[in-house]
Amino acid sequence: MDKDKLLKLRKKIKSKKPGFVSQDTHKRKRIRKRWNRPRGWQSKIRLGKRGYRKMVTPGYGSPKEVYGLKKGLKPIRISSEIGLERLKEQIDKKEQGIIIASSIGDKKRVNIIKKAQQAGIQIINIKNPEDFLKRIDEERKKKKQEKEQKLREKEKKKEKEKKKGKQKKKQEESKLEKLSEEEKQKMKKKEKDKVLTKKEK
């Protein structure tokens, strides 16, 4: 049977496939939702009674020739740029495609996508690689602008603080100028006394 026909058949089978969940998950919190075969002697699911959940059976499986294919391609997992370069020549572009690992960061992911596009390799787990690249570029630009803005705000704050310090100094100087010579001498005496008391301690 042709590959396209088998893929259509698989789609038809999967549309009728129910969600296989463990027995009594809705009754108890501790029971996980993942599938576990019911083993109870009186289990209605095991016995295949009507009105109960369906059991996992071979009939719901996809045809052997198309088993494990994604978008009609055999997936190859890639977790680094070096891995892609090693497998670049071995990958059959018509039959195989790559899946980029979720653990990879955006920077490395972008490089892998660009290299895969240059080699003409299909990426299975990204719908529109060009849109993805555009989005990441926009995000990077945004972050850069935000950083620059923060730096500007910091510089402005520093300038304001400097201005305030200068104004305080001027005010103090003007106060000292207004004071008489006797008051100035008293001020100097107080400062000297403070220094002496500190030394004694």
Inside any domain, residue 125: yes
- Statement: residue 200 has pLDDT above 70: no
Q: What pLDDT was estimated at residue 201?
A: 53
Number of domains in the chain: 1
Inside any domain, residue 111: yes
How far apart are alpha carbons 107 and 171 in whole angstroms? 54
- Statement: residue 89 has pLDDT above 90: no
Inside any domain, residue 60: no
Domain encompassing residue 136: 66-147
How far apart are alpha carbons 102 and 109 in whole angstroms? 9
CB of 73 closer than 8 Å to CB of 99: no
pLDDT tens sequence across 102-134: 999 989 999 999 999 999 999 999 989 999 999
Inside any domain, residue 99: yes
Contacts 24+ apart (CB under 8 A), 96-101: 97/70, 97/71, 97/73, 97/121, 97/122, 97/123, 97/124, 98/122, 98/123, 98/124, 99/70, 99/75, 99/123, 99/124, 99/125, 100/125, 100/126, 101/77
- Kindly state the average pLDDT of the residues 61-76: 91
Inside any domain, residue 48: no
Q: What tokens appear for 132 in the block?
A: 């993805």
E strand or H helix at 76, and its extent?
strand 74-78
Q: What is the per-residue burial (b if ≥16 Cβ within 10 Å, else e) of 116-140? A: beeeebbbbebeebeebbeeeeeee
Inside any domain, residue 191: no
Q: What pLDDT was estimated at residue 176?
A: 66
Inside any domain, residue 21: no
Q: What pLDDT was estimated at residue 188?
A: 74
Residues 6+ apart with CB under 8 A from 159: none
DSSP 17: -
- Statement: residue 199 has pLDDT above 60: no
The share of the chain scoring above pLDDT 70, in percent, equals 92
pLDDT tens sequence across 133-188: 999 999 999 999 999 999 999 999 888 888 888 887 777 777 666 666 667 677 77
Residue with the larger pLDDT of the pair 164 and 195: 164
The share of the chain scoring above pLDDT 90, in percent, equals 59
- pLDDT, averaged across the chain: 88
CB of 124 closer than 8 Å to CB of 97: yes
Inside any domain, residue 74: yes
**Residue from 112, 118, 130 nearest 76 by CA:** 112
